[in-house]
Amino acid sequence: MAKGTARRKDELRDASGAPPGSQDRWLDSLTFRIAMLAARPSIRRGRVEIAFRDDPPVVLGDGTGVPCRVQVNSTRFFRRLFPSPDLAIGEGYVGGEWDLLEGDLAHFIGVLLRNDEDLRQRRAVKALSTLFECLADPHKANDPRHSRSNAAYHYDKGNDLYGAFLDEGMNYSCAFFERPDQTLRDAQINKLRTTVRRLGVAAGMSVLDIGCGWGELTRTVARQTEAERVVGITLAEEQFKLARARVDTEHGNRLSYLLEDYRLHAAHSPEAYDRIVSVGMFEHVGKHQFVAYFNAIKAMLKTGGSALVHSIIRPHKGTTSPWVDKYVFPGGYIPTLGEIAASAKQAGLRLSAEPFVHESFHYANTLRHWRRRFNAAYPALDHSRYDIRFKRLWNLYLAGSESAFDKTGFQVAQVRVEKPA
């Protein structure tokens, strides 16, 4: 019996005489070392310690800043890291292929983003980015059909989810903080009041909100102005239902909502509005539809009317993260301020004032509030709909967005344009 057992053990040894499984472990270790050698030139700033099983941890970066410690749990992560690092990092985190053992998730992503910015300054990488943009997927054209499906993908996940982390008014855009310790609700109210003031609604005017969300801005316009008619349009059915349900009796005769694309609305609403506002929607329009968007605004504005467009802006032209495009906001694109202004002018609109630019802190702080509130509320959510993978995905999305403002210069702008006589 002992000889048979020994013989079977001998048969399990590979040609080199290694014990069972050791060759796999050796290959895994080799994969880790090769991956770290390849990653080293890409992580030149910060301090990132990466551990894998029993191998000695590898430290990347120049050692500056708050340290981050990453535990990699699967060699699958290494094998797909370099063909598409953005997708691999995102999908790997959601799938549990790596975990952050030390440091904040937003800070870690910020380290990656800062290093990525350095990398993109290299001429070859910039040329490749331009090529990839030219070969963009057809859905990025964002025609009405694709726009509807893209909006539903993100915004129709469930009002219970958004109610768990947004403020009471369900404002899903940057709050304007008057001081760092201001509550999220008060900062959102400040944003609403500021936006309505800049919109400049006089008595008897008609107002359209493109991408009205759950309706808080339209309700604010109805409450705080003497507008004769306030209309909100959205592509998200869950938002549409809740917005209609929240219409109060006092302002109900002046306030209405439509489940409709802005281009289709423009087709049957020529010169129907004195004022148009759009908050946090322009990022979903898609780069190739910017001029069409402003053409629609021009068509719907009365002569001399004006629109206020609120959007995230980036410091220089770029491309959308493949992971964000696939899992969070399909078809989206963050513009530069110059791209917004040029598209409006091309459509025949005139910038009526210098754009209002809000510093990165405001949205970064908004996102910090949202992430804390989401994680605090998560235990009470329906885990059959929002499982652990979803929790990791949502944390990565919120943390990544926060770091884009904190570390790469993303800001928020409100641009006012007029339809000239």
Is 223 domain-assigned?
yes
Q: What's the average model confidence in pLDDT over 328-343?
A: 95
Which residues is 49 bridged to in the sheet?
Answer: 59, 69
The answer to whether residue 27 scores a pLDDT higher than 50 is: yes
- Cα angle, residue 294 at apex, residues 289 and 295 outer, rounded to 5°: 90
Together in a domain, 208 and 267: yes
Query: Please, which pLDDT band fits residue 118 given cuts at 50, 70 and 90?
Result: low
Amino acid at 205: M
Domain membership of residue 170 as a residue range: 139-418
SS3 131: helix
Together in a domain, 345 and 199: yes
User: Radius of gyration of the chain from Cα atoms?
Assistant: 25
Amino acid at 93: Y
- pLDDT tens, residue by residue, 42-88: 899 999 999 999 999 999 999 999 999 999 999 999 988 887 888 99
**Strands annotated E in 251-381:** 255-259, 273-279, 301-313, 350-351, 356-358
CATH number at residue 116: 3.30.1050
Together in a domain, 154 and 112: no
CA distance 213 to 280: 9
Together in a domain, 100 and 214: no
Length of the chain: 421
Together in a domain, 15 and 152: no
pTM (two decimals): 0.88
CA distance 211 to 195: 15
Together in a domain, 169 and 99: no
What is the sign of the dihedral through the CA atoms of 91, 95, 99 and 100?
A: positive
- The residues near 326 (Cβ < 8 Å, ≥ 6 apart) are 87
Together in a domain, 169 and 72: no
- H runs (alpha helix) in 268-359: 290-300, 322-327, 337-346
Query: Please, which pLDDT band fits residue 169 given cuts at 50, 70 and 90?
Result: very high
CA distance 290 to 262: 12
Is 132 domain-assigned?
no
What percentage of the chain's residues is helix, strand, coil (to nearest 5)?
50, 15, 35
CA distance 159 to 246: 13
CA distance 263 to 43: 44
Which residues is 210 bridged to in the sheet?
Answer: 233
- pLDDT tens, residue by residue, 204-259: 999 999 999 999 999 999 999 999 999 999 999 999 999 999 998 777 789 999 99
Structural tokens at position 322: 């493949």
Is 130 domain-assigned?
no
Q: What's the average model confidence in pLDDT over 89-93?
A: 96
- Exposure string of 299-326, with b = 16+ CB inside 10 Å and e = fewer, is bbbeeebbbbbbbbbbeebbbbbbbbbe
Query: Considering only CA atoms, which of 416, 404, 388 is closest in space to residue 99?
Result: 388
Q: Provide the CB-side half-sphere exposure for 263 (13 A, CA).
A: 13
Question: Could you give the number of structural domains in the chain?
Answer: 2
Q: Are 77 and 57 in contact (CB under 8 A)?
A: no
